[in-house]
Amino acid sequence: MQALPAGKIDTPRLTAQGDVRDMKMAEISGRIGAWAKGRIGAWAKGQEINATTRPDGLPSTFAENLPSWQSIHLAEAQNLAPHLGQGVVVAVIDTGIDPAHPMLQGHLSAPGSWYDFANGDTNPTEVPTLSNGAYGHGTAVASVILQVAPNATILPIRALDSDGYGSSINIAKAVTWAILQGAKVINISAVSNVDTTLTTVLNLAATKGVYVTLAAGNEAVDKMPYPAINASKSGDFGLRAINVGAVGGDSKMASFSNYGRDLEITAPGVDLVAAVPGGYAVASGTSFSAPVLAGTLALALGERQNLLFMGKLANQIDLMGTDISKLNPAYKADTLGNGLLNAQAFLKSVQ
C-alpha cells in the first residue's frame, strides 16, 4: 500500500507497493502479478489443507509450506503455545477477505466488528474489478496468519480495492477501527509516502497496547519505506511494531525484498500456498512475511507471558532472530536485520 502525505485527501491512494505516488500493497511490485493472473487456477481446483505443524496433528497448512515453517521452527513454537493464539484478535487491513472461504470459517470476528472503508459499509468482502491486480490479497494474508496461529481470530477490515489501491486516510481510519474492536495485533502489508495522520494513529495503537506488523516492501532496494521504517525507531511504536523482509524456505533473501540498516527481521515470503477467493494460490512478497510475524505474535499473546516482556514482544521477536548472513553473502550483514524469525526461541524467551 502506498499513501500520499496527509493533507492531500482528495488525491492520495493506497496501493500495493510500487507506485511512489500512492499507498499500495507491499507485493504488487514483486510477484503478485504472476500469482494473481497465472497460478490461482492450478490451486483453485481441489487443493486443500493437507499438512500440519500443530502438536495435535490436525491439518493446518500445506505440504508445500513445510520447508518455510521448518526454517522458523514453527512446530516447536506451537508446541510452546498450546492455545495457538486463541482469544487473540488480529486485524487484517487489506483488500478485504472471502468470508465464505473454508479456511477462514470459524476464525472471523463477529460480523458487527467488520468494516469496509473503501466502500463505506460493513461488508469487507473482496470485490472484483476488471484488472483484479490484487484480488485475493487480503484473503491470502489472513490465511497465512491462521497457518501460524490456527486459533487466532481474524478481524477483516477492507481499506484497499482489488487493484491494491486505497487512500491513506482510510488506512488511518482502519487502524482506529481495529483499536476500538479490541485487536491485539494489526497487520499492514503496505507501504506509502510519509503521512502524518497515519503516523499519529499508529502511535496511538502502540500506546493502547496494540502490536503492528509491517511489510518491508518489494522494490529490492537498500531502504525501508514508510510506514515500515517507523518500526525501527525508539519509543512505544518501536517496541510494539516490527518490519519484516522476505526470505525463501532456504533462508535466502528474496530477490524482490527491500533490505537495509532499518530492516528488523525476515520471515518466509516466497511461494507460500495461501487461500484466495474460490480456492488457493501460491503467493510471494513481503506482504506475506508480515502475517507470519502477526501469527507468531498471536501465539505469544495467547499464552501467559513473563512480565518482563509485557508490551515488548515485537522488540523481543526481533532480538531472537537467527543469523542468516552466511547464507546471503551478497548482502552486508548489517542490512539483514537480526536475521530470520526464530519462532521457537522467541516463544521460549518470553514465557
Task: Single out the catalytic residue among 116, 137, 163, 284.
Answer: 137
Neighbours of 123 (CB within 10 A): 14
Task: Single out the catalytic residue among 60, 287, 289, 318.
Answer: 287
Length of the chain measured in residues: 351
Instruction: Tell me which residue of 220, 155, 228 sits closest to 189, measured CA to CA.
Output: 228
On the 0-12 / 13-18 / 19+ scale of CB atoms within 10 A, 112 is: exposed
Contact criterion met (CB below 8 Å) for 35 and 16:
no
Enter the DSSP assignment of 254: P
Give me the residue label for grid cell 506475506: 288
- What whole-number distance in Å separates Cα of residue 219 and Cα of residue 273? 22
Q: What letter represents residue 132's amino acid?
A: N
- What whole-number distance in Å separates Cα of residue 218 and Cα of residue 55? 34
Contact criterion met (CB below 8 Å) for 314 and 242:
yes
β-bridge mates for residue 265, sequence order: 244
β-bridge mates for residue 14, sequence order: 166
By three-state DSSP, how is residue 117 classified? coil
Give me the residue label for grid cell 533490505: 259
For this structure, is 232 an active site residue? no
Instruction: Give the pairing of strands 272-276 and 279-283.
Output: antiparallel
Task: Single out the catalytic residue among 22, 94, 116, 163.
Answer: 94
How far, CA to CA in Å, does 169 sit from each of 117, 180, 261, 301, 340? 9, 17, 29, 29, 33
Contact criterion met (CB below 8 Å) for 22 and 38:
no
For this structure, is 287 an active site residue? yes
Instruction: Tell me which residue of 223, 212, 193 sits closest to 293, measured CA to CA.
Output: 212
- What whole-number distance in Å separates Cα of residue 263 and Cα of residue 244? 7
For this structure, is 167 an active site residue? no
How far, CA to CA in Å, does 18 sit from each of 24, 94, 95, 136, 225? 7, 16, 16, 18, 10
Residues identified as active-site? 94, 137, 287
